[in-house]
Chains A and B, each alone.
Chain A
Amino acid sequence: MNIVVCVKYVPDSTADRQFESDNTVDRVGVDGLLSELDEYAVEQALQLKEKNEGTTVTALCVGPEKAVDAVRKALQMGADQGILVTDEAIAGSDYVATSLVLAKAIEKAGSENKVDLVMCGMASTDASGSVVPAMLAERLDLPQVTFASVVETQGDQVRIKRDSDTATEVIGATMPLVMSVTDQTGEARYPSFKGIMAAKKKPLETWSLSDIGVDAGEVGLSVAWTEVTETTARPPRTAGEIVKDEDGSGATALTEFLVSKKFI
């Protein structure tokens, strides 16, 4: 089985994330890492590899040069090889352009050995749009089984369980397909010391836009399908009233507050 798992390099969500003057996400001034939600996709890819002999897992990332860290992390966890697509022209790309770059890279990655499964996390921890997996499926003309909380495969048959807003569903499809997984699929493994050492010898390629046949004029901030006109730090919430509960005073104060705001 040939699996490509898409991994995103994102600003650390516990750091002080910010925007650049051109309203794009600051991906350089803030420490970055492999998006936590993509670790679950790497984990599921590795579990499939363990179950299916002869499986190759390729970690694919689109981002600035520093984003190679996200690919390395996936290699340390156990992916077999890595690809970073990086090009100055990509900076500021929105979902539509990013999905184009990923799709073209996946096509190139599968040019000799067709890709059976494209794995993604349920969302990135920065933009959290959750739309790129479906866009990839559309571009690659593949079915999608997304937001999986449980993944089951048998040969090329895939079944996933997912919790939508109103129902729990089981979705079935045949590979090749695009899958996205949630954190409910199970803890992602930590890289072992052995894994970290082994990762240093794993193939890691860097591709530019011309390597994957994408014209620089098709991507980037200047041709984005959407425009961010304004980013404003939310004013800190004005300090609320905090009371200490003493002999039941907390409950009365809470009730009074809710009444004053007309919630009761």
Chain B
Amino acid sequence: MSEVLVVVDHVDGAIRKPTFELLTLARRLGEASAVFFGSSDKGAEAATKLGQLGAEKVYVVDDTEIKGYLVAPKAEALAQLVEKTSPAAVLFVSGYEGKEVAARLAIKTGSGIITDAVDVEEGGVVTQAAFAGNYTVKGKVTKGVPLITVKPNSAPVEEVGAAGTVEEFAATISDAAKKAQIVAQQPRKASGRPELTEAAIVVSGGRGTGGNFEPVEGLADALGAAVGASRAAVDSGWMPHTFQVGQTGKVVSPQLYVANGISGAIQHRAGMQTSKTIVAVNKDEEAPIFELVDFGVVGDLHSVLPAATEEINKRKG
């Protein structure tokens, strides 16, 4: 069975959940091999977890020389690994880096690329949502090695207990690849809440909050959810851009999305329409968001959310 490479998304060795979802998808296409950019120590540590969740092999690429640079060096290393392993596919997490490493790799290896997959089936059929989620598109890569970037929450994480055998891979990186330098990096402050793109539940607020996000945050915490915001709320300066859900912010597809005081403009829908269950609270019963919902409350979020939060906390005991 051919190998399927899964590029590990991690912060200083802490593997982000979407990587584990990729392992599940990879096993549908072949034998999952993870590719870890980092030190050998961190790689060995990561391999235990990656093995448990489906990786037969873990290629560790030492990143001492390349970690200060953007995208290009990883694409070079992966091109060499693709050459060595002739994989059936390479899977990436759909984020800035995953997409762009895949993009460069596509040109280097003459391969087709599909971005923002929400499912990958046996045989390499990839499902995407198009036009703000109004269409479902199925497709395949027909040339080279299929390069697929996958959105978070697209597959379950499965405990399988694969070997997770570590293999160091020495890549040769050209000087030309080391030109866009990461001058400074400030990790996002931990909010104590799940990360927006990976969260199973997202509770968002928009213009209707009037700038007071307390009711939204209260409900989010009762549900163990991430907090999001509409573009209107971000443009008003109420929430930082990193919270924005929508076309130019984060694209999320959680199990549950609760939109509060959000009208549901196309820009916002593009970022959340593939959520499994959608709930909205809005004063305006004509708000387009109500066309999308499984459940909606026409009412003032400032009274509905705190009351719901209290009830939920009570039920949880």
Contact = CB atoms under 8 A, between A and B. Distances in A.
A87 B303 CA distance: 58
B180 A145 contact: yes
A210 interface: no
Interface residues of A, number: 85
B297 interface: yes
A231 B181 contact: no
B103 A95 contact: yes
A138 B180 contact: no
A96 B112 contact: yes
B168 interface: no
A227 B308 CA distance: 47
A39 to B, nearest CB: 12
Interface in A216-231: 224-231
A231 B290 contact: no
Interface string A236-252: 11001111110010111
Interface in B115-152: 115-116, 125, 129-144
Contact of A170 (B75, B137, B184): B184
A32 B179 CA distance: 37
B180 A135 contact: no
Contacts, number: 278
B180 A264 contact: no
Nearest to B102: A131
Interface residues of B, number: 91
A60 B138 CA distance: 30
A44 interface: no
Interface in A81-95: 94-95
B167 interface: no
B21 to A, nearest CB: 15
Interface stretch (B39-47, B156-164, B185-193): B185-193
A129 B188 contact: no
B1 interface: no
A233 B104 CA distance: 31
Contacts of A19: 130, 135, 137
B312 A258 contact: yes
A126 B270 CA distance: 11
Contacts of B143: 225-226
Given A130-B115, A146-B96, A254-B297, A163 B242 contact: yes
B108 interface: yes
Contact of A264 (B72, B136, B144, B312): B312
A259 B130 contact: no
A13 B182 contact: no
A169 B266 contact: no
Nearest to A149: B241
A147 interface: yes
Nearest to A233: B135
Contacts of A232: 135-137
B299 A250 contact: yes
Nearest to B106: A96
A168 interface: yes
A165 B195 contact: yes
B70 interface: yes
Contacts of A132: 103
A21 B236 CA distance: 42
B95 interface: yes
A162 interface: yes
Given A95-B113, A183-B248, A263-B223, A230 B103 contact: no
16 contacts: A37-B247, A95-B113, A123-B247, A127-B130, A129-B99, A133-B103, A163-B241, A229-B138, A234-B134, A243-B298, A244-B285, A250-B297, A251-B307, A254-B281, A258-B223, A263-B256
